[in-house]
Amino acid sequence: MSLSAALQKEVLLQWRTRARFLAVLAFGAVTLLLFSFAAGPDSTALRRHAPGFLWLALMLSSTLALSETFQAELEQRALEGLLLLPASARALFYGKALVNAVQLTLLGVALVPVAVVLYDLALPRPVALLGLLALGAGGLSAPGTLYAAMASQARARQMLLPLLLFPLVVPVLLSSVKATSLLLTGDPMGQLPSWLWLLVSFDAIYWSLCGLLFDRVVDE
């Protein structure tokens, strides 16, 4: 199986299960709403904490989407059949990780208007925010896809995945929150490039490392 074939398969699977995306989006929107209640009626505090709330909602929602990554392959032992094909398992990983990254990016884009309404935000640089959402989604999807494969055989995979994933993606959360805050409120000290480089470095390292480790995970 080539990477293009893996991508086509994943896109088709995601289209067939598109109702699940709407459920994950509803969960993220409700999470943002609950965060707004927890912060209280102070509009200044809401705007100050909005980037953190947005990325926490996206990270929590991502576990619902990622936990089902290998559900279709587990049915009727389809994963073993795919691995018997004359193809690299890395193509399967990168196909899933890329589609997961796109899905999480779309989820983040859909959650931004909810955050704008709830937290009274302004979006001075929407294109830059879209790129930041894509980088953050990439940082979540690569290790998330690998850990989803590791947890797929466990009965409590939806509980196991966050326990494995959240400690690892702390740099993604910190850099994404800080960069989003600088985009929304201004960057007089020029700190934004350093946070973006941290996020890009994390993505580059873990997209390479997780692709190398995927063979060992699925062979066990």
Position 134: which residue type?
A: A
- For 159, the domain range is 3-219
With tokens 């209640």, the residue in question is 37
Question: CB atoms < 10 A from the CB of 75, how many?
Answer: 9
Contact 93, 146 (CB under 8 A): yes
Query: What pLDDT was estimated at residue 95?
Result: 84
Task: For residues 126 and 109, give the distance between their C-alpha atoms in angstroms, rounded to a whole number.
Answer: 10
* Entry pTM: 0.87
pLDDT digits (tens, 9 = 90+) for 33-70: 999 888 878 788 888 899 999 999 999 999 888 887 76
Helix H, strand E, coil C: the string for 174-185 is HHHHHHHHHHHH
**Residue 4 token pair:** 């293009």
Q: Kindly report the length of the chain.
A: 220
Beta strand residue intervals within the chain, DSSP E: none
Ranges of the chain with pLDDT below 70: 1-3, 5-7, 9-10, 13-15, 70-87, 154-157, 218-220
Tell me the per-residue pLDDT of 161-181, one tens digit each, with 9 for 90 and over.
888 889 999 999 999 999 999
- Residue 127 and residue 134: Cα distance in Å, rounded? 11
DSSP string, 58-80: HHHHHHHHHTTTTHHHHGGGHHH
- For the chain, what is the domain count? 1
